[in-house]
Amino acid sequence: MRFRNIKDWVVKHPARFGTLTGWYQQACGIVAAAATVPVILNAFSAKQSGIWFAFQGILAMVNLSDFGISQALARQVAYSLTCNSARNNPGLDFIPTSSGWVGVAEIYLAARRLFLRVNAAALGLVVLCYNLLLPFGRLIEHHTTTITTAWYLLGAATITTLQSKLYQGALDGLGQLYWGRLVSGSAQLLSGALVIVALHFKSALTAPALAVLTVSVLQMAGLRHVLMAVAKGRLRLGRARRQIPLRRLWKVAVPFGVVNSAAYLVSSIQVPLLGSILGAEVIAPFYLAQRIGQIGTNVIHQFLLPQIPLFTQQIAANDWNTACHRMRRILLVAGLGALGCFALYYLLSPRMVELWVGPGRYVPDRVLAVMAVDYCFLTVTVGFAQFVLASGHNPFVTTTVIAGLLNLVGCFFLSETHGALGIAFSSLVAGVATNYWYATWQWILLLRRLGKWTVKKDVPNS
């Protein structure tokens, strides 16, 4: 009886359960990092640990090669599941599909075909990065068999994780984000445990890389199993009434992909650049500060992201009043949470890192202050942007590209003279000059559109 009560609560409150499982996922990531980072720093030299962290940062770029397809899939699944007809709302870039699960099957099958091409492109990127990108700079001075093997094992893990985005995107669109977070969080715990075990038996880069690959395969299999169980056969080829042209889905996904790639240049490129410009030995302190800051951002966003599919479903059902109320309430809580989170980040993280991995392994206070301000702005404005994107608009392509280029140029010029402070300051300036104000403005415009749609809806009934 108690299990049935829990199940009924989850069905009635998918967003709340999504938030709880999102926090579970973040807690798993924190526990895994807390356990593995000291082991990695002690098992490897400063150069080896720098290479390990830099490899993860570079391969995060390869993970972007889905080019927004998973995001476009999630938004379209949410829309198709509840839309009243196969026609789009005016001015929105949703793809016309059948309604309900038939439409979900149509868009899922198109995304599955497109992901086959994505995986081939990702494999090419892994090879090109290692042979053309990494030889430049000071990150890797000599390619050894151990380094090469570790790179390709981590590359295979990245491609497997990329395939997982297909299943995760469909679950997100169905409003069941919690399944993906439960699987991903548990996978992080398992990955951390296997990395520690691997390093206990063999102090080489290949051992933890093999552990990461093993868990990524298990995660992909788990997500696919969950999606098929939820769909109950409703995603089979025979369920689709029409075949969605791949170019149509690609056209919707490309703006997402451009935004994601440019955002990588703003928020994740710093660690690989530090290694290439100043050497692998300087990476670890900045990586720790960046990782903790990103965890803070993700903790806040786990409260926000489960609301996004429900917001899109309300837009599709023409329930704009409820959608607007949901958006205002969630953003208010997320904004207050961001202020508190990054105040604590600045005040407490130095002491935490000192207890965690030892003294002298963290960024100076002034670098941390710039990063705290930057992450606070980023967290709030990404929340604005998520609701704008969920409404069927993507106006952020140009500004995000400009922000990425500004940050990239700033990092090159400022890191030589100011080190980590230059890297942190460059990211903050790039954001303030572009998306931090632009996302806020686009959210205000969304509020106005929701007001106009509400008036239009009420007119026939007056």
What per-residue confidence (pLDDT) applies to 87? 47
- In the predicted model, residues of the chain with pLDDT beneath 70 are 1-15, 84-92, 136-143, 238-241, 271, 275-281, 452-462
What per-residue confidence (pLDDT) applies to 141? 62
Q: Is 91 helix (H, G, I), strand (E, B) or coil?
A: coil
- Would you state the structure tokens that stand for residue 304, as one six-digit string? 């926000």
What per-residue confidence (pLDDT) applies to 104? 86
Q: What CA–CA distance (Å, rounded) separates 462 from 460? A: 6
Q: What is the pLDDT of residues 384-395, one digit of tens each?
A: 998 998 888 888
What per-residue confidence (pLDDT) applies to 138? 64
* pTM of the predicted structure, to 2 decimals: 0.70
* Residues 235, 109 contacting (CB under 8 angstroms): yes
What per-residue confidence (pLDDT) applies to 436? 93
Quick one: CA dihedral 215, 217, 220, 221, positive or negative?
A: negative
What per-residue confidence (pLDDT) applies to 462? 32
What per-residue confidence (pLDDT) applies to 354? 86
Q: What CA–CA distance (Å, rounded) separates 339 from 380? A: 9
What per-residue confidence (pLDDT) applies to 258? 77
What per-residue confidence (pLDDT) applies to 434? 92
What per-residue confidence (pLDDT) applies to 379? 92
Domain ranges of the chain: 18-461
* Residues 422, 411 contacting (CB under 8 angstroms): yes
Q: What CA–CA distance (Å, rounded) separates 369 from 421? A: 10
